[in-house]
Amino acid sequence: METESSVTGGYRRRFTGFLRKCMFSVLSMGPVPNHIAFIMDGNRRYAKKRNLQLGEGHRAGFASLMWILGYCYELGVKYVTIYAFSIDNFKRRPNEVQVLMDLMLEKIDELLKEESLVRQYGIQLYFIGNLKLLSDNVREAVERAMEITAKNNKLVLLICVPYTSTDEILHAVEESCQDKLDHSQAVKQTNGSTDHCNQTSQEDHEHDIKVVDIEKRMYMAAAPDLDILIRSSGETRLSNFLLYQSDKCQLYSPAALWPELGLWHFVWAVLSYQRSYSYFEKKRKQL
């Protein structure tokens, strides 16, 4: 009976895989999103609904992430961004924050194992956010993961931890101001002081901060424009995630909690994007 059950399960998996490939072949006839972002909402509610211990919902969420990454790879998506930990999450109970940090260390190690999806699919890990806020051991694990996967080029997984859009924008503005100030001081030291009005006016314009200066100093400058942003659990709030980058992308909010998110939700998000593709392309060309 056990052998018969395993054989039946094997046939079912192969048949499901065949159907998925057929479905993705059809989807690839239309525009394929290059960059998809996920707000992985609902892990705690998933655990509470099933009377699971603290952290088990996040483990189930990690398994869901692996499935979603597989779908993205098979469809040809090149960049995936996930909201793993908000700076605001540090305000949660200390024991919950510690559980999440321990889980992060555990999953980073798991991602780097030889048999992991990261190794199989050639996924580059890129951690985005204010890494100075992480503890030393977590930050070292993050830096090690980025170094080990730096040469992988099939898919880039950007992990926002700890991150908020307001912090990203503040960081970009501060960096831009500091760079302009450093450049101004270097020019003055090279040329010496001058009283010529026209030169002073020219220097003032050269030191103006432009939108492009801000954009290239964003944490997310490492990725192209966002095509789809998916938030699970039916919530439509962005929760301080990619506020600057999400103005011209498809938003999708399925009712499923993050660990419940599956293939059909993913396919529907891509179909919605393809229906709206010409509209968003027109908006981007107007910039």
Cα dihedral sign for 116, 269, 256, 127?
positive
Residue length, the chain? 287
Residue 60 zone, left/alpha/beta (φ > 0; ψ -120 to 50; rest): alpha
Cα first-last separation, the chain: 63
Phi, psi for 216 (deg, rounded to 5)? -75, -5
What are the E-state strand segments in 4-153?
A: 35-39, 79-83, 123-128
- Residue 182 bears catalytic tag: no
With beta carbons less than 8 A apart as the criterion, state whether 249 and 227 touch.
yes
Q: Which of 41, 109, 179, 225 is catalytic?
A: 41
Q: Which amino acid is residue 245, in one-letter code?
A: Q
- Exposure letters 149-186 (e unless 16+ CB within 10 A, then b): beebeebbbbbbbbbbbebbbeebeeebeeeeeeeeee
Active-site residue set: 41
